[in-house]
Amino acid sequence: MKFFPPCMICFSSSQKNDIDNSYDEENNENFRLFTYNELRLATNGFSSSNKIGVGGFGTVYKGRLRDESLVGVKVLSIEIESMRGEREFIAELAALSDIKHDNLVGLRGCCVDGATRYLVYDYMENNNLSHTLLGGEQNRLKFSWETRKHISLGIAQGLSYLHEEPRIVHRDIKASNILLDKNFTPKLGDFGLSKILRENSSHISTRVAGTMGYLAPEYAISGRLTRKSDIYSFGVLLLEIVSGRKVVDFDMEHGEHYLVQKAWEAYKGDELIQLVDSVLETNFPEEEAVRFIKIGLLCVQEHARLRPSMATAIKMLANEIELRDVEISQPGLVSDLMSIKMDHQNLSQSTFSKGSTISFQSPRTSYF
């Protein structure tokens, strides 16, 4: 028997049909419908002191429920004209409805209150990779090589599960969407842009959405979304984890620096070891670190067909596949917004900066 959580009764039948993964009572016994008052009390009135993150699709607050358990509460406000927020809410429910994996954030429940939607997640004690690992040198000192390896493998395993089991393309893999629990176990979060691949379908044609620096070039240019789009983003993220550097950086003397380009130059000059985060000093296995960078470069190759699957990338990370004779070709790089497939007349008026979330709006075409 198909079963939808109580919050789904708020949607029309056509919206319910957007949820591809149906719920069942056994798998969702811990999913619940929260009231607005419960979440207001849990977050101390959505106090700014409880704010732990702000993303392209909502603000996240730390909350403590009446049973003393900690949660993260994401608040999505609906834009009536574009329905932005509503679609992200539905997409997250669709993606996380009845799937479970150690490297996916746990969805505890939801709340619908007027034009506002709330999603309730397991609380992540160590915030996200962007806030911690990429948040400054003092933060990077907390991440030993073993911790970085643990995080890299966890992200790969979570992404591989999404690609093979529910056939989900995340579409926004980046440092700020990798959450860390108290043991620094990574959890893929923010499924507001995710897409489900239909049976026997290898791609989806869609309006481009994602984050500059992490966008696969073929997707940015054509709008053709595949699993290889996520794999490109994973490659960028892997380079960030090993180097401790952001995907796009800026300084007054040299302007913008693209990590992918810097890694490619280091590869051509046989200087990959120089890319490893300096805070590690000599406390890391050089051969393994270089292998991780090479895997990152394999994942960001310009031609999508040359990128490994996530299952293969995991074997490479675990050193089950030898890389000695593997040829790495030039990476793809999207450094110009004008390269991205867009409808100029219907482009959102928002100003997009490097590293910011990109989303294109059109009265004729929806996100999902």
Identify the DSSP state of 3: B
Annotated catalytic, 172?
A: yes
Q: What is the DSSP string of 264-310?
A: HHHHHTT-GGGGS-GGGTT-S-HHHHHHHHHHHHHHTBSSGGGSPPH
Indicate the pairing of strand 168-169 with strand 178-180: unpaired
Query: Which residue, among 214, 228, 188, has the nearest Cα to 340 in the 3D structure?
Result: 214
Taking the chain, what is the end-to-end CA distance rounded to the nearest angstrom?
26
Catalytic residue chosen out of the listed positions 102, 172, 270, 277: 172
Q: Report d(CA 291, CA 299) in Å as an integer.
A: 12
Q: What are residue 107's DSSP bridge partners?
A: 121
Contact 157, 103 (CB under 8 A): yes
For the stretch 204-210, contacts whose Cβ atoms lie closer than 8 Å and that sit 24 or more positions apart, written own/partner, are: 204/169, 207/341, 207/360, 207/362, 207/365, 207/367, 208/340, 208/341, 208/342, 208/358, 208/360, 209/171, 209/172, 209/357, 209/358, 209/359, 209/360, 209/367, 210/171, 210/172, 210/357, 210/358
Q: Which residues are catalytic?
A: 172
